[in-house]
Amino acid sequence: MKHETRIEIIRLIENATNYDYPLRWVDEETSLGDFDGREVAIDVFNITVSEQIDFLTRIRQVRNKIREMIGHRGVFIFHSSESTRMHYANLFPITHGVLLEAGSSIRIPLPGPGGTGIRPVLSGDTICLKLRKAA
């Protein structure tokens, strides 16, 4: 599937769901296991079980279009907030409790389609981090 097609499909879903959930095409490096439709599967993160039906209802209007574009029924893999935190923390970095002073700032790339996989960069002369003891 062309890269542009993948982006367009993510955009269709984002518009239908008001950008409420981070999305990405299933990645061979971090999504293990083989299943039918793997190449047309999309991860949907931070979604509760009760929201899954609503998600499918909201994208009903674009599902046929997606099927036409990829020649296959779209497959959605839902991840709750707990499993997102547990298994995909690398996609969702948290910057917490940092003190930046005197000209320091935080730079973040503009999120692309799906919104996952970007990292903030702290820059400046005075950056204080709260260090915590590992459990």
Partner 1 sequence: MNRIQLGSNLFEDCENVLIISGTPLFSYKVEPGGIKLSFNVYSPPAKTAIQVEDNLKKKGDVEVEIGKNYAVIKIGKKKLLELSVEGDTAVINLDLRPLGLHIYTDPNALHVGGTQLSQNIIKQSRNGISIG
**Torsion on CA atoms 16, 17, 19, 22, rounded to nearest 10:** -120
- By beta-carbon proximity to partner 1, the closer residue of 15 and 64 is 15
Instruction: Check binding of 91 to partner 1 (CB under 8 A).
Output: yes
| Site membership for partner 1, residue 86 (CB under 8 A) | no
With CB under 8 A, what is the number of residues at the site for partner 1?
36
Strand order through the sheet with 23-25? 23-25, 41-44, 75-78
Contact 11, 110 (CB under 8 A): no
- Residue among 86, 93, 91, 94 at smallest CA distance from 25: 91
48-67 positions binding partner 1, by CB under 8 A: none
Please pick, from the candidates 60, 107, 132, 133, the single residue that binds partner 1 as defined by CB under 8 A.
107
Q: Residue 34 CB, nearest distance to partner 1 (Å)? A: 26
Nearest CA to 13 out of 49, 50, 48, 65 is that of 65
| Contact between 124 and partner 1 per CB under 8 A | yes
Residue 111 binds partner 1 (CB under 8 A): yes
Of 30, 54, 40, nearest to 10 by C-alpha is 40
Q: Smaller CB distance to partner 1: residue 24 or 66?
A: 24
Q: Report strand pairing: 121-123 vs 98-101.
A: unpaired
β-sheet bridge partners, residue 128: 99
- Which CB atom, from 73 or from 81, has the smaller least distance to partner 1? 81
Q: Select from 32, 103, 133, 135 the one that contacts partner 1 (CB under 8 A).
A: 103
Using CB under 8 A, list all residues that contact partner 1.
14-15, 18-20, 22, 45, 91-112, 115-120, 124
